[in-house]
């Protein structure tokens, strides 16, 4: 009991606050359960195994994690190594701790080093798949934080294992865990994991480089102190309260830059930098001006990650200057909150310490999964949520192969993903060793085994309601059609006869009208029998046929409203009625633009005629469209503006307001001697947009403006 109390006092001292009675009780209970569960177990170092979870808990406390996470760190091995049921964890500590411990256990059971050795280690795709899978399996980001802390302590004590284990763990850490720490913005873990991995994989290179770095640091220590003192004095003179100190790149990042860019050690001049930490964001920009008043900046080396943060949320100002001694010096400027997030990550510091809700955490996790190198501020929340809707499910074959499937996929999707023949002879499935129905929704990390029956007659059309993948549905329909061609044609004929009767035409007249309106071409129908079969399979239906027949009969265009809202103008679409349309975000058409319609799963996408995305689209997917009236509607267009400085933005705002337009959002990126600004503006039509562009181009300090 005394040991547990001592550990509690240690955690409290790291937190620098007194824990509540409930928090303290949870730590004590977790400590005692973990200690008793690991009783008698030893590590390779010869110390009791329990020292490992104790240290994981300490690491988590240093990251300001909540008590549930620290308790999970203490308990993270008790299910896997000691056989403690997860229900016991849930009963004693609640759902959150149970979910975290269960998640860490599942990741440990993946044996990623084996999967990594089986994969082509040069295949970036396969390695990225493993990283994505870990994040996808972690419905709570704290699972990954605990796992990274677990790996960090294991790497710190790797010296006591065999050479083969050292190499294997170091490779796994460098390829999987360090990049995940980077993606979550946890620099302190990323840097140490990379350096430890580098040491075990390339000990000679590591030791040689460390000696050179230490010598260089020793040589430049006096200069760094002089620069720091000069900056401190200048900042104080301008009433800016800040901390200034020197920092060096970690060993692996220097080596990686040398290898990646083919540079010698002497050509790496930014491995030592000064860091300025201010009280707020405004002081960051003021400090940048003071730095440039002392030393001239190197063109192209000024980066504003505050206005446009990195993908993992990193915020800071970076500049490289030439000092009075003629040597290059990198300087980073940030406030204290930015510094905390840079060191400990958005996940560990911002999401949990500041009490952000579960939905925001989910948003953050999926945001980090996006692979577009653009600023967070450029994202619209609806676009993010749309991206989340297309989330994948990662499952395994019994042999450990990873299979990607759509969200909520079922065993039949898995069967067809393995092979068409496996799907066609599907007779049942086992998930994690248990038989489940065809309707069962697969979860991340499931091990799926398909039971096949070669004597089975083939898929049933009923399977379509359980399939989530379009590929699965297509294969089921194809097989069923091949086996039942004549039956489908006869059933389709009966359906078609009813449709003709409902429309008030003869069968022959309806067929003629469909052919005249290019219906067969649009739906890839070869002949009348193909039409009947597709009708039987619901690939075409009464509504689509009616739209074409009535459209041909009326000999006129029908008007439909945009799917988005009644606040948008109507678009006239040749020969169709009741079909959903939407304005394509890739080119953002504005009334007055030449437009074209393209058939898609969502309906008809309205694009500008010069849109690059539709350059190679087939003619059969193209629909003739035109604008209806649009006097009182608002549209969004994207402009790329090159300007000399941020101050120019005030003049641009004034011009846009004067022209009765408005700014929806903008983002800036420093490029050599100018700022590139991507801006979304709201306008009425193309004439209005042309006028706005002309006025912006006349602003003093604007070098160029063009529409995206």
Residue positions annotated with a catalytic role: 80-81
Interacting residues of 594 by C-beta distance below 8 A, sequence separation 6+: 608, 609, 610
Q: Per the structure block, which two tokens stand in for 597?
A: 């319609």
Question: CB atoms < 10 A from the CB of 1, how many?
Answer: 8
Q: Are strands 402-406 and 272-278 parallel, antiparallel or unpaired?
A: unpaired
H helix runs in 594-669, sequence order:
648-658
Q: Which long-range contacts (CB under 8 A, 24 or more apart) does 352-359 make?
A: 352/64, 352/65, 352/66, 352/69, 352/142, 353/64, 353/66
Helix (H, G, I), strand (E, B) or coil at 671: strand
3-state class (DSSP) for residue 702: strand
Nearest CA to 288 out of 273, 304, 272, 299 is that of 304
Q: Are 161 and 87 in contact (CB under 8 A)?
A: no
Instruction: Compute the CA torsion angle 643, 644, 649, 651 (nearest 10 deg).
Output: -100
Q: Give the containing element (helix H, strand E) for 283.
A: helix 281-294
How far is 326 from 288, CA to CA, in rounded Å?
A: 19
Query: What is the number of other CB atoms lying within 10 angstroms of the CB of residue 267?
Result: 10
Beta strand spans in 369-504 (E): 392-396, 402-406, 426-431, 434-436, 448-452
Rounded to the nearest 5°, which phi and psi values hold at 99?
-65, -40
Exposure on the CB side of residue 598, measured as CA atoms within 13 A: 19
CA–CA gap between residue 151 and residue 153 (Å, rounded): 6
User: Is the Cα torsion angle 223, 227, 233, 234 positive or negative in sign?
Assistant: positive
Helix, strand, or coil here: 614? Answer: helix
Of 277, 298, 397, 415, the C-alpha closest to 341 is: 277
Other C-beta atoms lying within 10 Å of the C-beta of residue 475: 20
* DSSP line for 70-122: HHHHHHTTHHHHH---HHHHHHHH-HHHHHHHHHHHHHHTT-HHHHHHHS-TT
């Amino acid at each position: 009991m005394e040991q547990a109390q001592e550990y509690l006092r240690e955690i409290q001292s790291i937190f620098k606050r007194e824990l509540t009675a409930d928090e303290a009780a949870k730590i004590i209970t977790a400590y005692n359960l973990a200690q008793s569960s690991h009783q008698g177990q030893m590590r390779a170092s010869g110390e009791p195994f329990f020292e490992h979870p104790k240290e994981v808990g300490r690491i988590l406390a240093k990251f300001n994690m909540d008590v549930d996470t620290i308790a999970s760190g203490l308990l993270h091995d008790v299910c896997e190594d000691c056989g403690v049921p997860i229900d016991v964890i849930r009963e004693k500590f609640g759902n959150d701790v149970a979910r975290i411990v269960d998640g860490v256990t599942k990741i440990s059971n993946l044996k990623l080093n084996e999967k990594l050795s089986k994969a082509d280690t040069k295949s970036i795709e396969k390695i990225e798949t493993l990283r994505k899978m870990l994040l996808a399996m972690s419905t709570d980001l704290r699972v990954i934080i605990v796992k990274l802390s677990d790996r960090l302590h294991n790497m710190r004590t790797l010296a006591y294992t065999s050479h083969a284990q050292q190499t294997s763990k170091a490779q796994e850490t460098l390829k999987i865990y360090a990049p995940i720490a980077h993606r979550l913005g946890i620099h302190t873990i990323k840097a140490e994991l990379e350096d430890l991995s580098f040491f075990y994989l390339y000990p000679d290179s590591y030791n040689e480089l460390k000696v050179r770095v230490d010598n260089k640091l020793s040589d430049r220590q006096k200069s760094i102190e002089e620069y720091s003192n000069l900056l401190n004095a200048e900042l104080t003179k301008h009433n800016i309260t800040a901390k200034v100190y020197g920092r060096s790149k970690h060993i692996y990042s220097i080596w990686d830059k040398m290898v990646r860019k083919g540079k010698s050690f002497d050509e790496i001049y930014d491995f030592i930098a000064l860091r300025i930490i201010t009280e707020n964001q405004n002081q960051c920009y003021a400090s940048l001006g003071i730095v440039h008043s002392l030393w001239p900046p190197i063109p192209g080396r000024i980066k504003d990650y505050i206005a446009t943060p990195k993908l993992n949320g990193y915020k800071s100002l970076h500049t490289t200057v030439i000092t009075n001694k003629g040597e290059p010096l990198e300087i980073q400027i940030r406030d204290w909150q930015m510094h905390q997030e840079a060191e400990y990550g958005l996940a560990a510091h911002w999401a949990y310490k500041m009490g952000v809700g579960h939905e925001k955490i989910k948003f953050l996790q999926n945001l980090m999964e996006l692979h577009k190198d653009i600023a967070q501020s450029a994202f619209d929340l609806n676009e993010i949520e749309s991206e989340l809707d297309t989330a994948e499910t990662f499952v395994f074959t019994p042999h450990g192969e990873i299979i990607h499937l759509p969200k909520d996929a079922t065993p039949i999707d898995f069967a067809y993903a393995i092979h068409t023949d496996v799907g066609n002879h599907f007779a049942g499935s086992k998930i994690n060793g248990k038989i489940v129905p065809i309707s069962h929704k697969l979860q991340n990390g499931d091990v799926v085994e398909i039971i096949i029956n070669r004597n089975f007659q083939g898929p049933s059309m009923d399977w379509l309601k359980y399939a989530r993948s379009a590929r699965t549905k297509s294969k089921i329909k194809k097989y069923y059609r091949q086996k039942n061609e004549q039956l489908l044609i006869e059933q389709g004929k009966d359906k078609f006869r009813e449709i003709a009767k409902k429309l008030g035409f003869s069968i022959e007249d309806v067929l003629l009208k469909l052919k005249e309106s290019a219906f067969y071409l649009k739906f890839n129908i070869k002949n009348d029998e193909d039409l009947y079969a597709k009708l039987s399979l619901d690939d075409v239906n009464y509504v689509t046929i009616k739209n074409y027949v009535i459209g041909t009969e009326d000999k006129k265009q029908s008007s439909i409203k945009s799917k988005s809202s009644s606040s948008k103008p109507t678009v006239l679409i040749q020969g169709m009625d009741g079909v959903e349309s939407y304005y394509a975000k890739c080119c953002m058409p504005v009334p007055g633009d030449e437009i074209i319609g393209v058939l898609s799963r969502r309906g008809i996408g309205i694009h500008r005629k010069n849109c690059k995305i539709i350059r190679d689209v087939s003619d059969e997917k193209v629909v003739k469209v035109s604008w209806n009236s649009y006097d009182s509607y608002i549209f969004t267009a994207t402009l790329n503006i090159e300007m000399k400085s941020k101050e120019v933005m005030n003049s641009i705002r004034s011009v846009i307001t004067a022209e009765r337009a408005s700014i929806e959002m903008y983002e800036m990126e420093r490029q050599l001697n100018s700022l590139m600004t991507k801006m979304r503006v709201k306008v009425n039509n193309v004439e209005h947009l042309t006028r706005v562009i002309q006025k912006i181009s006349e602003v003093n300090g604007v070098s160029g403006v063009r529409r995206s």
